[in-house]
Structure 1
Amino acid sequence: MKSRFKAFYTKVRQSKFAQDSFWALFGNVLAKAMSLLGAIIVARLLGKEIFGEFGTIRSTLISVAMFSTFGLGYTATKFIAESKDRNPNLIKGIAILTMGISLVLSGILAILLFVFAKYVSDVIFEAPHLVTPVRLVSFWVIFSALTTAQIGILSGFNAFKSMARINTYVGILAFTNSFILTYFFDLNGALIALLCTQIFNCYLNYMEVQKFIPAANLVGSAEFKALSKKILKFSTPVAMQEGLYALTSWLTIILLLKFSDYGEVGLYSAAAQWSAIILFIPGILRNVILTHLSENNKDLLKHTEIIRKTILINLVTTVIPFIGIYLLRHWIVGFYGESYKDELDYILAISLFSTIFISISNVYAQAFMSIDKNWYMFGLRFTRDVLIITGTYLFLINNIYSGALSLVVSNLIIQICFLVIIMFIYNNIKLGHV
């Protein structure tokens, strides 16, 4: 038994995938814990209604930022993972293109959000008093998009140890900023903390990226142009997937506002925080998965082995925190304060259950990307997201469930169906049946 354990331990230590996974998680755990604690304090200080306003603005910012990244985070990871050994001359070109396109797109969208903040607040949010808060953090979009591209670049270099260190610093700052600024400045303080933390994250990532990028651009203009076309061709369906997800997330919030109120948005935002905690480890591993799948996309046996191991890891790392949080949910709800007490319990329970199916689905999403089947994934996600919105809308107009409950029930049903379908289609693609 002892020799078997020693052999297993040695195998794990020698596994590059295991090492990268460890560093992707180490430090991120502390960072996420600090961020969550800060978010709970913000929710408690603001109360359900104002926290709903904060959640609406934050959701809008995230949706715009996700669209502006144009899928370039994952694109950077895949292209650098494939090129660092096979064609290292392309590395600087990949970095320039991914960060440059992200900067331009996010800059345009941030300016538009700033200019049309009054329309967004008056017409879409139906809350004219939010015009200043929206303008205050509109340029958060730029730093978020750049951070996404930078994380993609660092992941392609397997720089997960460096990112763990950075995320630890960012998590500490996020907690400190959130508590102090929200306490003194309420909603505006919470939003300023969000912006300051993102700027700090972007700066640290930028300094780290510079350590890996060669000083000279080693490709000619013709090769650079060809690389640009290749990157845009790969990124377009990925960008459409992320844009679709962002749009769906935003539309569901707007549905809650139109058919209920900011209190329901606050309830959903609180439940979503804990779902994000459960999906934290699988989420951190997504770039690790894509890096290793891309490096081995010509080796079917190893590619399949990585997928199987990752599904098992995702399942374990999702189910364990799910059980813990589910059993402690009554205590968790109480910590948020009286305004959340009556409804958050069962909304949280359903939202948590959905994470198990989402976690496994994400493995297949990375697998599709690693073998350049992004259009398949876009079609599947488009169908999924349309059905989630439709289901939420039908529940709301027929008064079957309350606002937040309608959304989490619809999401659970569709996520279960989505997982079954994506597994079936991927297996058929792998066997050459599609």
Structure 2
Amino acid sequence: MALHLSKNKAYVRLKSSRLFKDSFWAICGNVINKGAALAAAVIIARWLGKDMYGEYGVIRNALLYIAVFSTFGLGFSATRYISKYYNNGSLTLQVINAGYIISLSFSGIMAIALTIFAPQLCTYLEIPEEVKIMRLTAITIVFNALCTFQIGVIAGFKQFRELAKINGVVGILTLLFTLFLTYYYGLQGAIFSLLITNVLNSLLNWRLIRQQTQNYEPIEHWFDLTVAKSLAKFSFPIALQESLYTVSYWAGMLILIKMSDYGEVGLNSAATQWAAAILFIPSVLQNVMLSHLSVTEQMSEHSSKLKRMLLINFICTTLPFIAILIATPLILSFYGENFKGLGLVLNVAIAATVIRCLIQVFVQEYIATGRTWQLFAIRLSRDVFTLILAWLFISTLKEKAAFYYNLSYLIASLLCLLFLIIYQKYGYNKIH
């Protein structure tokens, strides 16, 4: 009887938990979104072949990583600011307006730069025939940056149920557009589908934000320079650490391209798609975690919440990790003989992703507590060590470049996680 009552009490507490509810809806919407994207990726990989899929991976990831940088870190900053001040209607509106201006400005500059220097970039990447595709989809940078900022705003309002609906719709449209356009137009269609789905996603996000702010009193000044400066100042170190994604990605791909070939890039791209299947729940929960960690509370409560989030991330990543590990032979059969060597790369990539997901909890905690410069230094150290180690492995062993690149990231991530745990226990807590 006591055990039964205990279970009922635990169930009631879990059901009434805002953190649990937000996490549940965030996960539900992205199951469809990421699942559809993964299914599309597997199919177009088989259609395009290893080498062309490698080109697709380079172009696609280049556009997305540039878009992440072009948000100027405003996605996370918007979540933090709106979570803390959403009761202040005028400040909330000014934060949103300032975020739109900054996002559009930076992403627009990046899109124009990519359009101008597309020939030089494609020549350096040894895909000179893809200049038109690169230029055609540069606008994707703008809409992807807008989506990143808008999701941050929606997370700040804690509208995860509505966001889940949007993600579900976008996931289904992504699958349909990607398969249709790739089937008829090949690589060009696969890349162009990114633009279409990002435009639709941005419009749906904009509509939801309008609904959340329609009851606020109109503000006298649509744009407040003081608010914009404050937002930009807080976001700057976040933008720097997010730019590490772009820099480290390009550096890693150049190591594979220059020291190996596009076949190895294709293996890495395919493995990355499955790693994303593990990453998707923690990625979805990033804004949930940040919105809850940003609320002012006692240090003991904050630490307790951090531990729960680490446990959630560990469970959510370990289960799909084991599933993918067991299903590796079946997964390899989807790609065909052309992707020989993928199994080893895949296993290391998904192992590294489990560690990365635990690190993401600390990333949100650092942003929530304003330790953004420390976060930048830690992530810079990890990425530099990854690239140095990868270069040493590949230049010395002269084979299995994709495998050794992912192995380097695994080793660097393990050391980074160990540092974060030790510092959280013996350093940060003592200071605070």
TM-score bracket, normalised by the shorter chain, equals: over 0.9
Mapped partners of 2:52, 2:178: distance in 1? 15
Partner of 1:4: 6
1:266 Cα deviation from its structure 2 partner: 0.6
Kindly provide the amino acid, as one letter, of the partner of residue 303 in structure 2. Answer: T
SS at match of 1:295: coil
Kindly provide the amino acid, as one letter, of the partner of residue 271 in structure 1. Answer: A
Partner of 1:134: 134
Alignment deviations for residues 40-97 of structure 1 (CA, whole Å, 9 cap, x no partner): 1111110000000000001211121111011000000000000013x33310001011
Mapped partners of 2:304, 2:206: distance in 1? 34
- Conservation of the 8 A alpha-carbon contact between 1:90 and 1:219: no
1:402 Cα deviation from its structure 2 partner: 1.9
Partner of 1:333: 332
Counterpart of 2:361 (choices 363, 367, 389) is 363
1:356 Cα deviation from its structure 2 partner: 1.7
Matches within 5 A, 1:142-181: 142-181=142-181
Partner of 1:50: 52
Partner of 1:385: 383
Partner of 1:313: 312
Matches within 5 A, 1:38-187: 38-85=40-87, 87-122=88-123, 124-187=124-187
1:230 Cα deviation from its structure 2 partner: 1.6
Alignment deviations for residues 372-404 of structure 1 (CA, whole Å, 9 cap, x no partner): 000000000010010111111111211254221
Partner of 2:196: 196
Partner of 1:418: 416
Mapped partners of 2:122, 2:374: distance in 1? 36
- Conservation of the 8 A alpha-carbon contact between 1:81 and 1:157: yes
SS at match of 1:172: helix
SS at match of 1:129: helix
SS at match of 2:219: coil
Matches within 5 A, 1:419-434: 419-433=417-431
Q: Percent identity?
A: 36
Kindly provide the amino acid, as one letter, of the partner of residue 383 in structure 2. Answer: D
1:220 Cα deviation from its structure 2 partner: 5.8
Mapped partners of 2:104, 2:284: distance in 1? 23
Note closer, same or farther for the CA distance 1:237–1:280 as it changes in structure 2 (3 Å cut): same
Mapped partners of 2:106, 2:271: distance in 1? 31
1:216 Cα deviation from its structure 2 partner: 4.6
SS at match of 2:138: coil
Alignment deviations for residues 235-277 of structure 1 (CA, whole Å, 9 cap, x no partner): 0100000001221012101211111111111100000011110
Q: How many residues align?
A: 429
Flag structure 1 segments of 5+ consecutive residues without an equivalent.
none
Mapped partners of 2:398, 2:312: distance in 1? 37
Mapped partners of 2:425, 2:218: distance in 1? 40
- Conservation of the 8 A alpha-carbon contact between 2:100 and 2:146: yes
- If the length of structure 2 is used for normalisation, what is the TM-score? 0.96
State which drifts further: 225-234 or 56-65.
225-234
Mapped partners of 1:338, 1:178: distance in 2? 23
Alignment deviations for residues 100-140 of structure 1 (CA, whole Å, 9 cap, x no partner): 10011001110110111111111x21121011111121110
- Alignment pair present for 1:344 and 2:345: no
Mapped partners of 2:14, 2:152: distance in 1? 25
Partner of 1:210: 210
Alignment deviations for residues 204-241 of structure 1 (CA, whole Å, 9 cap, x no partner): 111111111246553769x9333222211110100000
1:429 Cα deviation from its structure 2 partner: 4.5
- Conservation of the 8 A alpha-carbon contact between 1:53 and 1:266: yes
State which drifts further: 73-82 or 257-266.
257-266
SS at match of 2:416: helix
- Alignment pair present for 1:375 and 2:398: no
Alignment deviations for residues 282-325 of structure 1 (CA, whole Å, 9 cap, x no partner): 110010000000013x4212211110110000000000000000
Mapped partners of 1:23, 1:136: distance in 2? 35
Kindly provide the amino acid, as one letter, of the partner of residue 13 in structure 2. Answer: K
SS at match of 1:190: helix
- If the length of structure 1 is used for normalisation, what is the TM-score? 0.96
State which drifts further: 399-408 or 182-191.
399-408
Mapped partners of 2:15, 2:270: distance in 1? 38
Mapped partners of 2:234, 2:399: distance in 1? 40
- Conservation of the 8 A alpha-carbon contact between 2:89 and 2:217: no
Kindly provide the amino acid, as one letter, of the partner of residue 4 in structure 2. Answer: K
SS at match of 1:372: coil
Root-mean-square deviation (Å): 1.5
Flag structure 2 segments of 5+ consecutive residues without an equivalent.
none
Partner of 1:240: 240
Mapped partners of 1:273, 1:412: distance in 2? 16
Note closer, same or farther for the CA distance 1:125–1:400 as it changes in structure 2 (3 Å cut): closer
Partner of 1:250: 250
SS at match of 1:158: coil
Mapped partners of 1:344, 1:194: distance in 2? 25
Note closer, same or farther for the CA distance 1:219–1:326 as it changes in structure 2 (3 Å cut): farther
State which drifts further: 252-261 or 320-329.
252-261
Partner of 1:299: 298
Kindly provide the amino acid, as one letter, of the partner of residue 181 in structure 2. Answer: L
SS at match of 2:212: coil
- Conservation of the 8 A alpha-carbon contact between 1:368 and 1:426: no
- Conservation of the 8 A alpha-carbon contact between 1:71 and 1:235: yes
